Each structure stands twice: as structure tokens, then as C-alpha cells.
Chains A and B, each alone.
Chain A
Amino acid sequence: MPKDNSIKKVLVIGSGPIVIGQAAEFDYSGAQACAAIREEGIEAILVNSNPATIMTDKEIADKIYIEPLTVEFVEKVIAKERPDSLLAGVGGQTALNLAVELHDKGILEKYNVRVIGTQISAIKEGEDREGFRALMNRINQPVIESETVETVEDAVKFARKIGYPVVVRPAYTLGGTGGGIAETEEELCDICSSGLHLSRVHQVLIEKCIKGWKEIEYEVMRDQYGTCITVCNMENIDPVGIHTGDSIVVAPSQTLSDREYQMLRRASLDIISACDIRGGCNVQLALNPNSFEYAVIEINPRVSRSSALASKATGYPIARVSAKIALGYGLDEIKNAVTGKTYACFEPTLDYVVCKIPKWPFDKFYTAKRTLGTKMMATGEIMAIGNSFESAFLKGLRSLEIGQFSFKHKKLESCTLDELKEKVIIADDERIFALAEMLRRHYRVEQVCKITGMDIFFVEKFRWIVEQEELLSEMEYEELSPAFLKKLKRRGFADKAIAELLDVKEEDIRELRFKWNIVPVYKMVDTCGGEFEAESPYYYSTYDEVDEVEVSDKQKVMVIGSGPIRIGQGIEFDYCSVHAIMALKKKGIETIIVNNNPETVSTDFNTSDKLYFEPLTDEDFYHIFLKEKPMGVILQFGGQTAIKLAKFCQKMNIPVLGTAPQHMDEAEDREKFDEILEKLHIKRPKGKAIWSVEEGLKVAEELEYPVLVRPSYVLGGQGMEITYEAHQLERYLLNAFDRDPENPVLIDRYLMGREIEVDALSDGENILIPGIMEHLERAGIHSGDSTTLYPSVNISKEMKEKIITCTQMLAKELKVLGMINIQYIEYKNDLYIIEVNPRSSRTVPYISKVTGVPIIDLAVEAMLGKKIPELGYGVGLYPEPENFYAVKVPVFSTEKLPRVEVSLGPEMKSTGEVLGVGKTVEEALYKGFIAAGKSLPMQGGTIFATIQKYDQDEFVEIAKRFASMGYKFIATDGTAKKLEENGIPARVVEKLSVPPHNKFVNEEDEIFKLFRNGEVDLVVNTPTKGNDSKRDGFRMRRIAIESSIQILTSLDTVRAMADIVAKQVTTDQTDIYDMGARRHE
């Protein structure tokens, strides 16, 4: 059946900001789907609140609305654009939920919009637990028996029916507490009664325990004519019980015989047929390792993180094919874009092993409870390809950028076997290293399998790696033979790992290898195991004889990607990498991308001319460089990951396009940078490195409080803090030197001023500043966590001039070619510099979109030698728009991470961002807040306040405004007193009491009850000291966030909310804007 010609205009809904569980994979799928739609001559209208995405580029869709993903705003888009169709399946759960809501509210019917692809009824059937279970029963597919109960009696009754052990999962609990596995009725009564108590809704789920079963996923496709295929299956190395997003996953499955493989494949296809899926779908199954017994865990009737992984693992473009199916095509009518010969209707076969490892944010959130469970905590992931399991896994390990090149883990070496055992049983992010350490100490493989539920197939592989590590440790460098070295390289060992184990330098191993001619070759990912000739330029390295890469004699440039998504380095950098490639392609230069993140657009098979799916380490990068010999490599778009390669490039004389490595170093080295600032007469907050508590206190006196303190080496334990008084500083320093007496602590004067951020382009002489951004929150909150305004509202003309001059001087002095990002503070009418990044920053996509300046294109031109005045966008500050404001609002995933500090500070916590645009600042802010999911307190709402003493005066002024608008206040003792003194009535509540042993909170506390009962609309809390999970402020913030109550920890944000409320901005009054039309007005 050919394309449905009645489809002319399709609305595509994106997935919104990056949060844990919903990351860059939906930018990838959305962008791919839009391209698939537009090449058919069909108009694509895009709505997504996330500006840091490729999909919201004017090149991707015909009309782009960066608007809040709420029913109200999407309805506005529908009313304005009148699309005939809606594609919901490429924007994650967000888009799916929105589509269902639009349908249920009759909006789709009202505007005559039909859903294409999987239909609403099917989505509902797949998502609704009871509905899905009924369907599975109808088609004889086993599900895991479970029931939601509200009493212990019901739990016992159900458990008797399904048999022990059972899993008890309380619904909505604090700090991820409660629940567990009950082996007996007695245990069940215990766990269940405490679970019911902890649950906000007094419900627990009782589920048949399938602990230790294998978790297997199938990515399947189906068209509306009933043809269905599986794209890929995947096996989780971690058994059922750990979220697949937090599991190490291999593709294809390794331990399933054909009979098991086909049984589960058949089940998956039967399920999607029964659900009438039209497009891609993910089916998760649990398989009893000791029989053919299996159970369906769940399905995702849409493209997903797993489908992005499957796409990259196989080369099969799932989102693209899903979009084509939605347009009416059958699978047998869609060409396989990879081979160009075969059709989308086939099943990819792999002739390599793919390994995915999650990237967790615990290096930033060191107070977090790291236990892995059924709720995903990883912010991103890496994928690695090898032709053995060991090589895929070891490549994956070093792609994570956690300093691990082998299994040798310093911290765990000092653990006892008991401690290690506990770590692998409870399972946290370091379990794999703990497991390896156990094997190193000859703990029995069979027993490791028993206590972890991992298949012995994998554990034996790990044991083999450990065994080689031990051999190396006991070996002398001179004893290393070519045969052994080759064997290690074939199995994925990094030079660095071998060098560390032999106690030599990495280059010693490299030189040896080159001498012995042990170098990698590259193999192609082609979907068909080499059976057909393929056109896909998608490669991975192996230590084989035959190389498949054809190196062209064209001019070529290598772009280094940004690796896994983590806090502080998100999708923004992939945006930059992709744009760099597009700019280079436009110039007729062959492009090569190196990256290891399967979620991204940059690793799509047709983004660049060549894709190397490899770790971003010196070694792996160098081999590709040697292979391709590009005219230069571009590092400045890949965040810190790419910048890390600068030193190596300098050492190896690898041509870097753009700012030279030694100048990058000048910007990053504190001392060298201070010299430059002095020379240019640019101020920075005074500061010093100190070595003792006494020295610190003395320096702080000189600098004047408040001061910003931070360790010079972040060892994971203590971050930055702002201290206002000597005793606070003393406590911090005592703690810091106690943890690490070897390194100094940095003390800077803390200027409580306005923070200003600038991204600039430089050709070494001239600069162009696309826009000056003002932070809503004052200095002290990480720039990534600040609400950012463009154009600025409070920066004077003179100050702007000063910023332009300073930026120009710095760019010139640092010989910047390409991008530079500078953060300033305006304090008492003076300009201070706080940070310089000689690279592209996370604000680039945002500012590109709202100014219409194609920043990355221009940066690439500058790197290749063009002068800025020639580029057609002028020099200095690009003209600011009138009557147009665009506000970037950060989005957090803190509620998903138990025991993580909520309050904002100098360390970044946000995972994503949204944009709000409007004719006034208030409109833009309003939309930004709505898009970020921040609910504004309704007129006459209740504000709960607990404010530290340094902020109380300021808070009173804001509180007065809220009070005059009819808001009520509840406050703790000191704050309430202060409010009362200023004529604002406030109900006083007791602080949180010390909770009973092993509990996070005393449920009798009044604050707890207020939050739980939803009697508070907004919590305003400015914290005294951060990161101490035992303090009541910390607990109060966690209770608020886990009770889904809006909490603000910066008074600047609260003030902005007061402004919006005072102006009475409502959704009805706000407008929507096509961002595509904004460019080049």
C-alpha cells in the first residue's frame, strides 16, 4: 500500500527537556522522523519546549514552535497551523501522554486532526496496566502476576494465590524507602505494613518475585497491513529488578539458544499484532534461566531509548521507518537506507557485539543513594562495538569517562570481601568493579552468579579480563610479548590500562605496538553481516587483518563528539557537533565524526560522511586520525570530553582547527589566566589557594565575607560552598582538609552581583557576540542552573560596551579562533570575570535559535580562516530584538534521585532546559516556567517559607507583594517572626524533628503533613549549608520535592514569580511564535 495522500501537514510532538529517563534519544528520533516526513513533500510542524535540540532547527521542520508541552499550548499550535495529522510516537512518554490528553479532551476531534502511526486506543491498551494484562491473557501471553493492595490482609491473600517470594513495592514513597522481597508471610506482613505507611497514597503493589530471571528486550516494527519484524534483541547483563536504563546491556542476546530466541521473538510479534502497533515498539520480557518460562514485563508503544540503542546497534533507522509506516507505507515498500538495496522489511543481523553501559550522575551527586533498582537514575549512556564481548565491554568502560580503563578500582581495593559482596548484592553503580575485585580475590565464579543473578557466560568473561590484569601486574615491561599484546588488544585492552598495570607510560605501550605493527583496522556496521554491499559509512575498530575503510583523497575534517550525556554536558554539545558537520558539508569538506553516545543525532548513520563509533580517548582518537589523516580536528564543540584531547593533539602535532591547545590551556590554568587578566586590566573576584584552616580564615578576612570556597581537586565528597561567617568557613575547611590534606582549598571573594554570560565568535582579531545573556539568579548559582534572559533587561548600555571590549581583548589575547564562552559578574557597577571556556558552551543552541545567528556555521568559517566581517552578521554585539524575549529555564531530575540536595548552588544540578518566548519578559518567563513544569501559585495560595537570616530582609519585600495579592504564609519560627515584624501574618510551624532510626522523616511532623496533604502551593527555602543529608533543611526540601510541591531556593526566582503574578499573565493571553520564521528577519 503506498503513501496515504490525504496526509499533507503533520504535527510532530517532541519530548521536552532532558530529564532522567528521557534524554537525547528523542531528539534523534524526532529529527529522523521529520526528515522522513518532509522528503515525501509533506509539511512537518514541530512543537517542543527544548531549545537545545536539532529537531527544533529550521532545517528540520517547516514550522518550529518552542513552546510548553501542555495541552493548552499544543492546542494553540493546532489552532494556528491546522495540521491534518499528529505523530505522537517519536517524542517519548511526554508526547504520548499529550496525544492521549488531546484526544480525550476532544481537541483532536475539534480540529479534525487524526493520529497517525499507532492509534490512541492501542497506546492506551499498551500503557494501561489492567488493560494490557487483560489483552495478554486473551492472547495467552504470560505476565508477571501483581496486584495493588491497600491492606495487609489483601496482600497476604494475594501472596497466597501467587506463592512466595513476592516483591512489595510501595507507591510514592520518600527517599526510595520501603518495599522489599518477602520470602514468608511473616516478612510480608512486616514489609507491607511499613510500605503502606510510607506510601503517600497508602498503596503497595504485590508482585510475583522473578528475581534472577534474565531481562530480554525486543525492538519490533509493524505496519498497518500486519507485516512485522524484529530489529534487534538485547540482553541485560543485570537481571530483572534493575531498570534496563540502569543495566549493562548487550546486543544481540548472548546466552539464548535459538529456541529461546525464537520463542521470545514470536511472543513479541504476537503482542504487537494484538495491540495493533503501527510503527516501532519495545517489548520487555523476563526469562527464567532454568526453563522456558517467561513473562511479559511491559511494552512501550513508541520509539524509545532502547530503540535508539537498537538503531545504532544495528544500523536500522527505527524512527525513520516508523514515520514512513505512519504515512501509510508498508514495510516492504520502504528502502533500507543503509544498504540502499534491500528493504526495511528484513531483520538486521549483527556480526559484532554491542555493549551499552549507563552513565550515572553520582560523581556530581555524591550524597545520593546509589542503589540501582526499578527507577532509572542514569543520565546518559555509551555504546561500544567490538567483535568480542570483552572488547565491546572494555571499550565501553573507557568511554564512560570515569577514569577507569581497566577493572582496577582504587577505592574498592581497600574493601573487604564482605563489603564487596554487599555491594554486588545490593547493586550500585560500582557493582561491576566490586564484582571484578571479588574475582581478583578468587571468589568463586558460580557464587558470584548466584548472588548477582548474572549469567556465568558474562562472569567468565569478566574473570578472564581480571586474570589478564593480574598477569600484567606481575609482569615486567620487557617480558611483554607481541603475541600477548596482540591478544590483549584484540580483547579491547587500552594501552593506558596495560601501561598502568605494567607500571610504564601509555606511550611506551603505543610505541611498542607500532614497532610490532599491532594496529587496529575498521569494520563496517551494515545491518546484514556483510551479505550485501552496503553504503553506510559507519565503522568500529577491531584488531583484524582486513580494513574496510576507504580513505578518500578529499579535504576532510574530524569532529570530536561529546560522549555520554551527564550533568553539565548535555545534548547542547551534540547540537554543536552536528551543526559543525553540516557547516563543513556545505563547504564541500568531507566530515568524520567520532562519538560513543547512541542517543544522539551526531551518531546517526547519515549525519556525517563517516561515523566512527569509538571511545573518545587519546588512543582511540589517534588511530582514527592516523587512518583518515584529516586536515584538522575540531575539539571545541564536544564539551570537556573533546577538550581533554587537546593536550594529546599538541604533543602529537595533530592539527587542531580553531583555538590552539596552548591557548586553551592558558584559559583553563588559573595562574596563567591570572597573568593575562592582569595584563589586560580585567578584574576577577580576588582569591587564593590556601593550605590550612588558619590561613583560610586569615585570607577570608582580607577578602571580606561572604567567600566562595571549593577544593582544588574534586575527589567526590565536597563541592563548592558560599560561607558568610568565619565559623561556617572553619567548619568547611576542617572538613575539607580532613578529607584531603594533600591539596589546597581555593577561596574567592563572593560577589553577590548580577551574572552575565556571553558566547562569542572570534577570528583572532574581530569578535561577534550573538547575544549577551543575563541570569535571573544572582551569582553563586551555577550558570547552567540559572534562568537566563535574552535580551538582557537590566544591563546598561555602558556595561554592554564594557562587556564587548573585555570579550574582544580576551579573545584576541587567547588567540581564539572559533568559540569562546565568558561568564561575568556585574557588581557595584563594575565588571568582573569569573570563568572563560575556550570552546562552545551549553547556551549556543539557545542563543543561535533566539538570535537567528547561525553561530556554529560562523565559528566553523572562522576556524577555516574567514574573517568575521566577511560573514555578514557584523562585528561586536549583534543587534538585540525589540519586543521579544526568550528565557531559558533549567529543568531538574532531582526528584528521581533519592537523597540528592535540592537547593541550587555553585554546582550544576539541572539535566535539561526549556525555552519561554514572549513579547514581554513576564510572558516569556511565564511560558518558561510552565514549560519547565513549575506551577505558579494560584491567587490566594499558600507559601511555606523558611529563610536563612542573611536573606530575610530581602524576602520580606517579596513577601509583601505576595501578601498584597492575597497569599497566605506558613513559616518556621525565625522567618515567621521576621514576617510578623513587617506586618505579614504567618502561621508558625515546628521544624522537622529528628526522625526515628532508619527513617527519613517522622511522619507526625506538621511540615510533613502539610506537604503530604497538599496544603502548600510553594515552598521558599534559602538553605544555610548544603549537602548534609542529616540536616532538617535538606530533609524538608526532599520531602517537598518528593511530594511534588514546587520549591524555590533562590529569592530571585521567587521575585520573578511575583512579577508574573502581579502582571496576571495567563495562558490565554500568551501567544505562540514560529521560531523558524524568526531567523534573518
Chain B
Amino acid sequence: MKAQLILENGMVFEGKAFGYLKETIGEVVFNTGMTGYQEILTDPSYCGQMVVMTYPLIGNYGINLEDMESSKSHVRALIVREKSDYPNNFRCELTLDGYLKSQKVIGLEGIDTRALTKVLRDHGTMRAIIAVRELTPSQVKLKIDAFNNQMAVSEVTTKEKYTIEGKKMHIAVIDCGIKANILRSFEQKGCKMTVFPANVSAEEILAANPDGVFISNGPADPKDVPETVATVKALVGKKPITAICLGHQLLCLALGGNTAKLKFGHHGCNHPVKDFITNRVYITSQNHNYYVETLPEGAVVTHTNMNDQTVEGMYFKDLDIYSVQFHPEACPGPTDTAHIFDEFITVMQGGKLNA
């Protein structure tokens, strides 16, 4: 079935729809990872977004039930050059097409994804509509303008508090749309976790008496969740805090810094980050549209992006606060920075980093 991707600037890309065939509106971002489409589909941080894969062949190894980063797909649409009709892998359980159908997510194939990527690079991230029938320009404008993603975190956060048992330290996790592998990473280290919805209050967390607090990744603009920022603010100085991605941005806001939107974000598995603790460069997995623009007072920069010099990690020695912008849990992407979880645990146990 023919379908059109219409960008908010009026540009049109025509392709063939697959997956679940229905009109969709969202924000278009591109991801440069050559593998990992399944993790991307199920990463809650993509809530509200249509993801363009720059690698042209997507779906080659199908979908399995082991590599899910959450219980469902969160993307609004998956835009590819070519989806694989004959996937193969010893763990392949579903085809990409079948999975998208089951998740009620539309796919669009046959797109000149490189041309689209360059448009997004030059114009910045844009809202768009995937139309499965003819629409007039005014209809398109109306629909696109009606789109907003401000409720994304509340869509993806856990509705109820839950606990993952562990024998070692106890972490209070603020779930803004957490990826499963972050939980798995802490779990493997024996941590006990109490996972709270994003709108949790500081009192509730303190009542659980955790050793430390972890703020997760999640979708959209950190300024969309002021209540979470307030919670974090109330926890500062009371508990050690660590965070990844959106959590890192929320910490920034809570501590008096400022965040801003990147032109087209960082979405991929090949972002070099200089680690000033080990004085080495690591290749990291990244997925964010916003970044720490102004550092809060007292922050020590632990990590910097080698491509655009943006802040990728910050540490507050006295406050026992440490956060990173990139994804040490990988999935998809390199596992080079898995040691960050050890550093998180050190900080949450009240230890100090050599930064």
C-alpha cells in the first residue's frame, strides 16, 4: 500500500506502508545504528517519534522475545529503505512486519532514507505525518500542529510501583521510561530495586529508605516533567543520585542548570565520548534530543562528546550525584561503558569517584 511521509516543511517522501496500516503523526528522527532495530522499537525513549534507520536493510534477523527493551514498541513509525521479507537468525521468532502489525505501528519502506536523513540534519528534527490517503495541505498542517509529545513520560512510565529483589544495595528507581537492560544491569550486580512511577514524590522515595536513587532514561523534553524535577530537587543532598539520559537532564534542571534541544539529536551506536576519569575515549550508544546546555554550579564534567563537545556526564562529589547522557546499558550498541554501573553503585554507596 502506497503511503506518504509529509514533513512539516512540506517535503514529501513516497513509499510503501507495512506493519499496521494507519495514519500516524510524530516527530521524525534518524538513527545511525546498523543493528539494533528491535531494541530501538522497544526503547520507551522513542515514544512519540518516527524513527528513520540510516542503514538500508532492516529486519534481517527478525524479532525475538529476548531482546525487548520494554513490553511493547513505543515508536510512532519505523521508516526504512528496505524491510527484510526473509529474516533469519537462530533466535528469530517474528518478522519485522509481523511485529509491527502486532504492536499497531506503521512501517514505511522504499524511502530514500539517506536523502531524508540529510534533510533532517540540515533542517533539524521535524514533525511529520505518514498519510495512507490523500490529504490536503491544510489537513496536513492541522494534524501536524495538533501533535505534541508533552505527555510522553506519563505514557511510558510504570503505573504502579514494583520491586526487583536483590541481596545487595537498595536503589530507588524513578522510571521515566526505563530500558530493560538498565534494570538487568543493576540486577546482575545484585541490587535490589524499587521502581517508582515518574510522578513519585520525594517523601514516597525516602519512605522506602533506599541507599541511592537512580533516574532513568525517557522520552521528550525534561522540561515537560516539572513534577519529577521537583522530586529530584527534594532528594538532592538527602540521597546519592545517579542517572542516565533524560534522568541526567532532569538532574541538571533540579540542580539549577539548563537544558536545550539539539538540532537533530544523537541517535546511534557510534558516538565517541571522552571519559575524563579513565582518560580514554569510548564508543557509546546514544538516544537523546535534549542536552545539558548550562551546567549546574559545582558540577565536574566527567564526559564530553567528541563530535560536538556537549556534556555527556557530570559529577557532584559533595552531593554524591553522578549522571551520564549516553547509554552504558547499550542494547543496542557498544558495551564499552558497562563499567559506569560500577561507578553508579560506588557513588550510591557513598563512595567517591576519582574525578
Specify which chain A residues have a CB less than 8 angstroms from the CB of B36 in the assembled complex.
Answer: 258
Which residue on B lies nearest to A526, using beta carbons? B114
Specify which chain A residues have a CB less than 8 angstroms from the CB of B115 in the assembled complex.
Answer: 544-546
> In the complex, are the beta carbons of A254 and B117 less than 8 A apart?
no
A257-B61 contact, Cβ under 8 Å, with A332-B281, A455-B88, A457-B86: yes
Which residue on B lies nearest to A339, using beta carbons? B307
**A1014 touches B (CB below 8 Å):** no
CA distance A262 to B90 in the complex (A): 16
Which residue on A lies nearest to B13, using beta carbons? A545
**A1073 touches B (CB below 8 Å):** no
Which residue on B lies nearest to A390, using beta carbons? B82
Interface string of B317-334 (1 = CB under 8 A from A): 000000000000011111
> In the complex, are the beta carbons of B35 and A256 less than 8 A apart?
yes
> In the complex, are the beta carbons of B55 and A227 less than 8 A apart?
no
**A350 touches B (CB below 8 Å):** yes
CA distance A253 to B60 in the complex (A): 10
**A229 touches B (CB below 8 Å):** yes
Interface string of B59-101 (1 = CB under 8 A from A): 0110010010000000000000110111111110000000000
A346-B283 contact, Cβ under 8 Å, with A256-B61, A546-B115: yes
Specify which chain A residues have a CB less than 8 angstroms from the CB of B89 in the assembled complex.
Answer: 255-257, 260
Instruction: Please report whether the interface of chain B is mostly helix, strand, loop or mixed according to DSSP.
Output: loop
**B248 touches A (CB below 8 Å):** no
> In the complex, are the beta carbons of B113 and A351 less than 8 A apart?
yes
CA distance A870 to B278 in the complex (A): 63
**A669 touches B (CB below 8 Å):** no
Which residue on B lies nearest to A226, using beta carbons? B280
**A532 touches B (CB below 8 Å):** yes
Within 8 A of B (CB), among A340-389: 341-343, 345-353, 387-389
Choice from A258, A342, A544 contacting B307 with Cβ under 8 Å: A342
**B34 touches A (CB below 8 Å):** yes
> In the complex, are the beta carbons of A530 and B56 less than 8 A apart?
no
Specify which chain B residues have a CB less than 8 angstroms from the CB of A724 in the assembled complex.
Answer: none
**B350 touches A (CB below 8 Å):** no
**B48 touches A (CB below 8 Å):** no
> In the complex, are the beta carbons of A345 and B117 less than 8 A apart?
no
**B54 touches A (CB below 8 Å):** yes
Choice from B91, B112, B306 contacting A342 with Cβ under 8 Å: B306
Choice from B32, B67, B281 contacting A345 with Cβ under 8 Å: B281
Interface string of B294-308 (1 = CB under 8 A from A): 000000000000110
**A737 touches B (CB below 8 Å):** no
A346-B271 contact, Cβ under 8 Å, with A254-B60, A258-B333, A460-B86: yes
> In the complex, are the beta carbons of B56 and A387 less than 8 A apart?
yes
**B257 touches A (CB below 8 Å):** no
Choice from B64, B81, B283 contacting A257 with Cβ under 8 Å: B64
CA distance A256 to B61 in the complex (A): 7
Within 8 A of B (CB), among A251-286: 252-262, 265-266, 269
**A225 touches B (CB below 8 Å):** yes
**A552 touches B (CB below 8 Å):** no
> In the complex, are the beta carbons of B117 and A351 less than 8 A apart?
yes
> In the complex, are the beta carbons of B61 and A255 less than 8 A apart?
yes
> In the complex, are the beta carbons of A255 and B88 less than 8 A apart?
yes
Choice from A259, A289, A350, A530 contacting B34 with Cβ under 8 Å: A350
Within 8 A of A (CB), among B20-74: 30, 32-36, 38-39, 54-57, 60-61, 64, 67
CA distance A463 to B129 in the complex (A): 36
A544-B306 contact, Cβ under 8 Å, with A257-B89, A345-B272, A347-B269: no
Residue among A265, A352, A529, A530 with most chain B CB within 10 A: A529
Interface string of A524-565 (1 = CB under 8 A from B): 000011111100000000001110100000000000000000
**A291 touches B (CB below 8 Å):** yes
Which residue on A lies nearest to B306, using beta carbons? A343
> In the complex, are the beta carbons of B307 and A346 less than 8 A apart?
yes
Specify which chain B residues have a CB less than 8 angstroms from the CB of A348 in the assembled complex.
Answer: 270
Interface string of A220-232 (1 = CB under 8 A from B): 0000011101100
Which residue on B lies nearest to A463, using beta carbons? B86
CA distance A141 to B283 in the complex (A): 22
A529-B54 contact, Cβ under 8 Å, with A229-B283, A346-B306: yes
Which residue on B lies nearest to A269, using beta carbons? B336
Q: What's the nearest-Cβ distance from chain A to residue B327, in Å?
A: 12
Specify which chain A residues have a CB less than 8 angstroms from the CB of B336 in the assembled complex.
Answer: 266, 269
CA distance A533 to B283 in the complex (A): 20
CA distance A256 to B271 in the complex (A): 21
Specify which chain B residues have a CB less than 8 angstroms from the CB of A345 in the assembled complex.
Answer: 272, 281, 306
Specify which chain B residues have a CB less than 8 angstroms from the CB of A353 in the assembled complex.
Answer: 56-57
Q: What's the nearest-Cβ distance from chain B to residue A281, in Å?
A: 16
Q: What's the nearest-Cβ distance from chain A to residue B46, in Å?
A: 15
A457-B306 contact, Cβ under 8 Å, with A255-B89, A349-B268: no
**A653 touches B (CB below 8 Å):** no
**A523 touches B (CB below 8 Å):** yes
CA distance A345 to B281 in the complex (A): 7
**B121 touches A (CB below 8 Å):** yes
Specify which chain B residues have a CB less than 8 angstroms from the CB of A352 in the assembled complex.
Answer: 56
Specify which chain A residues have a CB less than 8 angstroms from the CB of B56 in the assembled complex.
Answer: 351-353, 387-388
**B184 touches A (CB below 8 Å):** no
Specify which chain B residues have a CB less than 8 angstroms from the CB of A746 in the assembled complex.
Answer: none
**A456 touches B (CB below 8 Å):** yes
CA distance A352 to B82 in the complex (A): 11
CA distance A254 to B89 in the complex (A): 10
> In the complex, are the beta carbons of B54 and A387 less than 8 A apart?
no
> In the complex, are the beta carbons of B272 and A346 less than 8 A apart?
yes
- Given A523-B114, A528-B32, A544-B115, 9 further pairs, Cβ under 8 A: A225-B280, A229-B272, A256-B89, A261-B34, A342-B307, A348-B270, A350-B55, A388-B81, A530-B54
Q: Could you give 26 example pairs across A and B, Cβ below 8 Å?
A: A254-B57, A254-B60, A255-B61, A255-B88, A256-B61, A257-B91, A258-B35, A258-B332, A259-B67, A261-B35, A262-B333, A289-B90, A291-B90, A342-B307, A343-B272, A345-B281, A346-B306, A347-B272, A352-B56, A387-B56, A387-B82, A457-B86, A528-B32, A529-B268, A533-B121, A546-B118
Could you tell me which A residues sit within 8 Å of B by CB distance?
A: 225-227, 229-230, 252-262, 265-266, 269, 289-291, 330-332, 341-343, 345-353, 387-389, 455-457, 460, 523, 528-533, 544-546, 548
Which 4 pairs show the lowest CB-CB distances between chains A and B? A546-B115, A529-B54, A258-B36, A347-B270
